[in-house]
Amino acid sequence: MKQKKEGIAISRIVTCVLLLAVLIYLAGAAWMSLQEPFSTFLSYTWAVDDTAECTGYLVREETVLAGSGGIVDLLPDEGEKVARGETVALVYQSEAGFGRRQTLQALALEREQLQYALQHLEGGGDTAQLSRQVIEAIVDLRASVSAGNLHALEEQTMSLRSLVYRRELTYEDTDAAASLAASIQELDRQIAALRSQAAQDTAAVTAQVSGVFSGEADGYEELLTPDMLEDLTPAGLRAVDLQRPQAPAGAIGKLVTGNRWYFVCMTPQDTAARLTEGRSVTVRFSTDWSGEVDMTVERISDNENGQVLTVFSSDRYLSNTTLLRRQTVELVFGTQTGIRVPKAAIRVDVQTQTDPDTGRETQVNVTGVYALVGSQAEFKPVKVLEQGEDYCLVEGIPSQRTSEAKKTLRAGDEIIVAAEELFDGKVVR
């Protein structure tokens, strides 16, 4: 009993010692923070774009596609190129017609798979071998899906279905080729019958001209055209802003028939003064589509009450921008690269400079930052390139003296943000 009480006492003493050690550590850390009354910031390379924001409209040569009502099934993908005479949509007069279309697609896929199996039937009819091939095909298919490699997915799927058909027919029928041919003939009969029925209540919409397909018509197709941009004024564009156009009745989409598209917008006079007709500028889209496009400045109108109408054009990314109309973009005039430091770290130091010719000494103000080098504060002159709300973009000014070359500010230097009575060479740590 006495030994048990002694064990409890020892355990309590050890716990108290550990608690005391933790308290001493925390107190020491707090004391050290008070003895080091400054904060630092690790500088890094940063880029600031010189941009101007404007809002305008995308303008294209567009032809509206119309249907006769009912259920519309669009065939091309958004932004897909279609040829003249190509079917771009099927219009069904009833739900039954639309369901028939889905049945036709399923039967066509099944026929394609049976035809594939028939073509590869000569590979042998050994059931054990076919079983191994089925397992290998399943493993390969799963590996491709897991790895995100979808390039051969269709071929792998067809191969697996073919092996399954061949294995099943090997078990059930000695004349597998004849069975496959008979199944294909039956599918052909069903497909022909459904197509005959579809001709009664299904209408096809074909492209009268070649172009890029879009499944959305918004009414701006006639309101804004490329030909109008030659004479459009700032007042005319403001009038467009007041309108709320609607898609034409029966519209099921449109075709973009021109290779070049345009962006027309209003810009302040000082922004337009930075643009030159015939030259290019980077236009950054970020609302409904993210991308940067180098566009040619086609036209800069006369000034109207401090506003100028500006027209840009491009023949790139047409398929990516078919759904865009009214957009707010940034005109990127250039990019400034430097070292980012906190604004609070910028200091002005008074230094004495000696004229090498006359030997006369003068006092000059030098802008710079203090960097922590070892245990000392070292003043490094900088040139301020840009200023933000809480930061400055700077570049280090190289010293003319070889012995002071290391004093040039570089990305990665530890900058002292807040401290009192700093001077070059002061021991701060």
359-401 pLDDT tens trace: 788 888 899 999 999 888 999 999 999 998 899 999 999 866 5
> Strand pairing partners for 335?
49
Among 2-6, 67-71, 139-143, 249-253, where is mean pLDDT lowest? 2-6
- For a pLDDT cut of 90, what percent of the chain falls above it? 48
- State both tokens at 387: 């200023």
pLDDT at 54: 96
Determine the Cα–Cα distance for residues 24 and 36; give it in Å rounded to an integer.
Answer: 18
pLDDT at 303: 94
- For a pLDDT cut of 70, what percent of the chain falls above it? 80
pLDDT at 355: 76
Is the pLDDT at 272 greater than 70? The verdict is yes
pLDDT at 162: 66
Residue 317: pLDDT band (50, 70, 90) is very high
Say which residue, 46 or 126, is predicted with more confidence.
Answer: 46
Closest among 105, 103, 107, 120 to 180, alpha carbons compared? 120
pLDDT at 193: 74
- State both tokens at 267: 């810009």
Determine the Cα–Cα distance for residues 254 and 251; give it in Å rounded to an integer.
Answer: 8
When the pLDDT of each residue in the chain is averaged and rounded to a whole number, the result is: 83
CB atoms within 10 A of CB 81: 14
Closest among 227, 218, 298, 305 to 265, alpha carbons compared? 298
Residue 12: pLDDT band (50, 70, 90) is confident
Sheet of strand 71-74, all strands in order from the earlier edge strand to the far edge: 71-74, 87-92, 202-206
Work out the burial of residue 125: count CB atoms within 10 Å of its CB; fewer than 13 is exposed, 13-18 middle, 19 or more buried: middle
Express each pLDDT in 35-83 by its tens digit. Answer: 555 688 999 999 999 999 999 999 999 999 988 767 888 889 999 999 9
| Sequential DSSP letters for 198-250 | HHHHEEEEE-SS-EEEES---SHHHHS-GGGGGT--HHHHHHHHH----PPTT
- Compute CA distances 239 → 103, 235, 248, 262, 309, whole Å: 50, 6, 20, 19, 13
- State both tokens at 391: 């930061």
pLDDT at 275: 97
Say which residue, 338 or 354, is predicted with more confidence.
Answer: 338
| Sequential DSSP letters for 163-210 | HHHHHHHHHH-S-HHHHHHHHHHHHHHHHHHHHHHHHHHEEEEE-SS-
Say which residue, 168 or 351, is predicted with more confidence.
Answer: 351
pLDDT at 210: 95
Express each pLDDT in 280-290 by its tens digit. Answer: 999 999 989 99
Closest among 409, 406, 407 to 393, alpha carbons compared? 409
pLDDT at 406: 67
Residue 421: pLDDT band (50, 70, 90) is confident
pLDDT at 173: 52
Express each pLDDT in 161-210 by its tens digit. Answer: 767 766 665 555 556 677 778 888 888 887 777 776 666 667 788 999 99
- State both tokens at 114: 């049976």
pLDDT at 120: 61
Which residues, other chains included, contact 343 with Cβ-Cβ below 8 Å and sequence gap of 6+? 387, 388, 389, 390, 391, 392
Amino acid at the residue 241: D
- Compute CA distances 372 → 207, 390, 417, 421, whole Å: 70, 21, 10, 14
pLDDT at 160: 72
- State both tokens at 171: 């078990």
Closest among 237, 241, 260, 242 to 308, alpha carbons compared? 237
